[in-house]
Amino acid sequence: MNGAELLVSALENEGVTEIFGLPGEENLAMVEALRRSSIELVVTRHEQAAAFMAATHGRLTGRPGVCLATLGPGALNLTTGAAYALLGAMPMVMITGQKGVLSRKQARFQVVDIVATMTPLTKMARQIISPATIPALVREAFRMAQQERPGPVHLELPEDIAAEPTQDIPLISPHPIEMPIAHPAALDRATAMISTAERPLIMLGAAANRPRLSDALSDFVRRLQIPFFNTQMGKGSVAGGSELYMGTAALSERDYVHDAIDRADLIIAIGHDTVEKPPFFMGPNGPTVLHVGYLPATVEEVFFPHVELIGDVGPSLQLLGQRLEGKLPNAGALLPLREGILAHIAARAEESRYPLTPQRIVHDVRQAMPEDGIVCLDNGMYKIWFARNYRTHIANTLLLDNALATMGAGLPSAIMAAMLHPDRRVLAVCGDGGFIMNAQELETAHRLQLSLVVLILEDNAFGMIRWKQEADGYPDFGMTFGNPDFVTFAKAHHMEGSRVENADGLAPALEAAFAGGGVHIVVAPVDYSENRRVLIDELSAHAV
């Protein structure tokens, strides 16, 4: 046995079934060990995509996804994925190669200090300097990646350590760890606060989307009957309970959902993570805020909770629910605002305009997606519209990144979702800018024989920034570009492509693409004049 083989058996011991990556010569012992193992090596065409996929695996399953890259250039290509997992709290393990540490026959060729590079981007970054340390390091890496707050870790395996003969050192088995539940004193304080609130409102933040939390959270909301809204990343965390849904805070202020937020006297913020663009701004005269989280809140200028309920969120909410169920005469105080808010959001959803309006696109996508269908967004203007207008009923059915908010993650995250859920419809929604950033992964999706539809919204521009540029009063400059013919582009990748040619064309195009199976590209021209009309003009008027 050598170091690489020991590392691979330690990964098997953690239950790893696939590794995403793009190897280099420094990984060859590792690749050979993988070939002889039960773990599948899923080759991607860019390391960044491998990291996005591994992070999404962590996000959707709660178990770390694993990615692999070589030293220097390969490892550096993982860094955006590391930041994506770090800010997004997604458990991930990155493994990179390195030149030998005991002898350097190629001097400094391709050598970059990757452990130092990864240190601020991870929860832990370590070089493996002897095979003997591998079992403990791997166990520690997985424990760190998975435990709250989850995130990425990095292990560097130099090629001489990978090749070094070693005995069969015993592995360390993982065991379940139950987190402590909120203290009774904190439960008393929270109970008193919620009981006396006149206009309570629940906010579901990013951590509300942890895969294991969905049942307990949904149960809590149904028991209390307090209306709720969510942040962008908290979207879909409550199953059912849709008669209590007040909207999504896609903007920080002035949107219709803020009618409820601004009137609340208590906000029960469950799992809010301040990596997200603020769902509302706390100020001196605002509502009281109760933070419910796995970990204490981070205090910011715009978020400084008054009371905290810390501990394993599911069981803690169960205890809180027991204390409060049926004892909240004011639970529904803000509910009368619901219909008005949702009616404004749904406005013009069926408008027949071509190019299509963002509202119509969201509406037609919802029609094409079954309740359990998974929509994976890249980053662009449409993200605000999807966050605001797309209704979800099942946890983690709208994957978006409101933390690093990086372009390029839409397609890789959809590939991962399609691998994990071959029985469900999966749709990547990308702008023409973001799609091209990782378009090379179409080949990966095709090679893996996935069923997946990619919707490209075409405005020949970095639309989001163009909108901000206009909103800030700058002249229109530097944001436009040309595109390949995406239908031909699809054909060149041995897949189907279609272009939406009229206002009623999107829904049937999506339906046909899903019915056809395999990977499909659907291109829809988008009319972004609604950005200004709704998100600036209409909402400014509404705020007055």
Ligand X SMILES: Cc1ncc(C[n+]2csc(CCOP(=O)(O)OP(=O)(O)O)c2C)c(N)n1
- Site residues (CB under 6 A) for ligand X? 379-382, 405-408, 431-434, 457, 459, 461-465
Task: Show the tokens assigned to 507.
Answer: 């829904």
d(CA 116, CA 403): 23
Chain mean position to CA 144: 19
**Which range, of 206-214, 285-293, 431-439, 485-493, touches Mg ion by CB under 5 A?**
431-439
Binder of residue 156, out of Mg ion, ligand X, none (CB less than 5 to 8 A by kind): none
Nearer to ligand X, 210 or 363 (CB): 363
Shortest reach from residue 395's CB to Mg ion, in Å:
29
Shortest reach from residue 383's CB to Mg ion, in Å:
12
- Selection from 271, 261, 224 nearest residue 244 by Cα: 224
Residue 59 per-residue DSSP state = H
Binding of Mg ion at residue 432 (CB under 5 A)? yes
Binder of residue 465, out of Mg ion, ligand X, none (CB less than 5 to 8 A by kind): ligand X
d(CA 253, CA 267): 15
Binding string to Mg ion for residues 460 to 479, with x set by CB under 5 A, is what?
A: -x-x----------------
- The burial of 277, by beta-carbon neighbours within 10 Å (0-12 exposed, 13-18 middle, 19 or more buried), is given as middle
Binder of residue 97, out of ligand X, Mg ion, none (CB less than 5 to 8 A by kind): none
Nearer to Mg ion, 117 or 357 (CB): 357
Nearer to Mg ion, 150 or 433 (CB): 433
Question: Sign of dihedral through CA atoms 400, 403, 405, 409?
Answer: negative
Task: Show the tokens assigned to 295.
Answer: 């970990």
Nearer to Mg ion, 62 or 525 (CB): 525
Shortest reach from residue 330's CB to ligand X, in Å:
41
3-class DSSP state of 376: strand
Binder of residue 381, out of Mg ion, ligand X, none (CB less than 5 to 8 A by kind): ligand X
Nearer to ligand X, 104 or 532 (CB): 532
3-class DSSP state of 178: coil
Shortest reach from residue 45's CB to ligand X, in Å:
17
Nearer to ligand X, 257 or 377 (CB): 377
Shortest reach from residue 495's CB to Mg ion, in Å:
21
Shortest reach from residue 192's CB to Mg ion, in Å:
50
Nearer to ligand X, 141 or 407 (CB): 407
Binder of residue 441, out of Mg ion, ligand X, none (CB less than 5 to 8 A by kind): none
Shortest reach from residue 484's CB to ligand X, in Å:
13
User: Number of helices (H) and strands (E), helices first, in the chain?
Assistant: 23, 18
Q: How many residues lie near Mg ion (CB under 5 A)?
A: 6
Among the listed residues 431, 506, 519, 534, the single contact to Mg ion using CB under 5 A:
431
Nearer to Mg ion, 92 or 436 (CB): 436
Say if residues 85 and 91 touch (Cβ distance below 8 Å): yes
Give 77's Cβ-side CA count (13 Å radius): 22
* Amino acid present at 23: P
> What's the Rg (C-alpha) of the chain?
24
Shortest reach from residue 80's CB to ligand X, in Å:
7
d(CA 260, CA 341): 9
Nearer to Mg ion, 411 or 461 (CB): 461
Shortest reach from residue 529's CB to ligand X, in Å:
13
Binding of Mg ion at residue 378 (CB under 5 A)? no
List all residues 6 or more positions away from 382 whose beta carbon is below 8 Å from its beta carbon: 358, 361, 362, 429, 431, 457, 526
> What are the CA-CA distances from residue 215 to residues 239, 246, 515 (Å)?
8, 20, 31
3-class DSSP state of 399: strand
Binding of Mg ion at residue 287 (CB under 5 A)? no
Say if residues 168 and 135 touch (Cβ distance below 8 Å): no
Q: Which of residues 440-459 bind Mg ion (CB under 5 A)?
A: 459
d(CA 507, CA 514): 11
Would you tell me which residues interact with Mg ion (CB under 5 A)?
431-433, 459, 461, 463
